[in-house]
Structure 1
Amino acid sequence: MTQGPDRGPGLPPVDDVRGSRLVSRVAVDFVLRGVGEAAQLFDGDMARAMIFMTLAQASVVGDRKASHEAAIYSDGVISDAQRRPVSTMAVANALSMPRETVRRHVNALVEMGYCVRLADRRLMVTEDVIRRPEVTETIHRTMQHFRRLLDLLKREQII
């Protein structure tokens, strides 16, 4: 498919209603499945799953050096030395959630051992947490959902 206005390569043009709706539908399906997979780590609590995923992602996103360093590890996990701690307020802002709600969930995540609170009160999901069998399995299941999304978009000639 050609590049449309304000679209990346491979995405349907703005005036391709069918293609745009299909992309929207499968993208939302992927997001919901991914959050649902993560929620299983927390007895189905989707808010806690979103906060956990945001903490894990915020500490490594945008850091090309950390992404490059991850290639050193056979499992692709970025080392704690390359991670950036995140504040509760940054998570609350990223998710448009009340700070107090995020704080309560963060306290539970710390208590459960899914993240650590550093001396400066910022938070980090450590490489050991990412390597836990239940987290690794969740990542693998999410990857299967992502492959399903790509297969559907290829089959429909969107990409």
Structure 2
Amino acid sequence: MASHPEVYTIGRISTEFFLRGFEVIGQVHDDILGGMILMTMLGEALGNAGAPAAIGIRELARRLDIPFETVRRQVHKLVRSRACRAEDGGICLAPSFRRSTRTNAMLRKIHLEAVRMLDGLRRIRIGHYKPPGSSATSRTLSKEQAVVVAASIRLLLAALKALRGFFKGDLMSGLVFTAIRAANTKHITNTAPGANKDLLPDADRRPVSMMAISNSMRLPYETVRRHAAKLIRQGMCRRAGRDGLVVPTATLRGMTFEAGTVVQLVFDFMQELRTSGMRV
């Protein structure tokens, strides 16, 4: 997929979706792993019309590709916080968490960002999805919205898994890198995503400050500073004077495998929507 003619355009459009989605996952719980576990169960619940079945800890560990003991400890925290409850065979979401106004708002945010991504892809002739007209806000997701959100959750979790692999297990560095990369090209992504099929030259990349990344990702400034410093040492990004940080074109040019993986993830997501009966 790295040879796809729109590989870099798809990357710019989808990176914005991933970043906004990662922000939502980070807001679900005060720990990113806790957010990933809760999102896994939310995705399962959206695809189950009846009462969602309990998911075993071993199955969660398999899906997230995270050690069993790490997941087990986090699950116990979630049960103590009453976001989940233990049942025979595993755990499931607490009804109060699943039906809360906050959870509903987060799911709607994911739907909104997925629709924006699909519309951006349509504008570069990737797919045919047209955003639905505005309608009155409902307390619950429509059937089609639930399909989009469930598929989006699976896409986001798959992207987090891939990101962790790209950065040798250091997910936080991967998240900071993604935030810098997206901010550098946001002015193009939001206005003319298909204007340049190649990687943008460094002169067209707008630096972003560590404080802006901290605010955008809702991460402590010191966490962002520490991981940004690591990325600079590794040559993954560089300082642009006093203006902030930039991921240079040369770095992205060397990430052909990663670029191809992102394209495949996006195409798999679109195929899942088509299989459900949507015109995408």
Shorter-chain TM-score tier: 0.7 to 0.9
Query: Partners in 2 of 1:124 and 1:89 — Cα distance?
Result: 14
Q: Which runs of 5+ in 1 are unaligned?
A: 1-6
Contact 1:86–1:123 (Cα < 8 Å) also in 2: yes
Matched, 1:87 2:209: yes
Aligned counterpart, 1:37 = 162
Residue 82 of structure 1 and its aligned partner are, at CA, apart by 0.6
Map of 2:41 onto structure 1: none
2:186 to 61, 74, 87: 61
Shift, 1:67, TM fit: 5.6
Two-structure CA RMSD over aligned residues (Å): 2.3
Residue-pair matches, total:
146
Find the residue that maps to 2:263 and give its secondary structure.
helix
Residues 94-113 of structure 1 correspond to what in structure 2 (within 5 A)?
Answer: 94-113=216-235
SS at match of 2:187: coil
Q: Is the 8 A contact 1:67 1:78 kept in 2?
A: no
Q: Distance in 2 between matches of 1:10 and 1:151?
A: 17
Report if aligned partners of 2:207, 2:243 keep a CA contact under 8 Å in 1: no
Paired-residue identity, %: 23
Equivalent residue number for residue 125 of structure 1 = 247
Alpha carbons 2:236, 2:251 under 8 Å: kept: yes
Q: Is residue 139 of structure 1 aligned with residue 259 of structure 2?
A: yes
Q: 8 Å contact 2:199–2:249 — kept in the other structure?
A: yes
What's the TM-score once normalised by structure 1's chain length? 0.81
Q: Distance in 1 between matches of 2:249 and 2:168?
A: 22
Report the TM-score when normalising by structure 2.
0.48
Q: Deviations over 1:121-141 (max 9, x none)?
A: 510000000001xx2211111
Q: Distance in 1 between matches of 2:203 and 2:177?
A: 19
Instruction: Tell me if the contact between 1:10 and 1:158 (Cα under 8 Å) persists in the aligned partners.
Output: no
1:22 aligned residue (147, 160, 170): 147
Greater Cα offset, 43-52 or 15-24: 15-24
Following TM superposition, by how much is the alpha carbon of 1:62 offset from its aligned partner in structure 2, in angstroms?
A: 2.4
Q: 1:99-133 CA deviation, whole Å, 9 max, x = no partner?
A: 1100000000001110001221510000000001x
Equivalent-residue separation in structure 1 for 2:214 and 2:171 (angstroms): 15
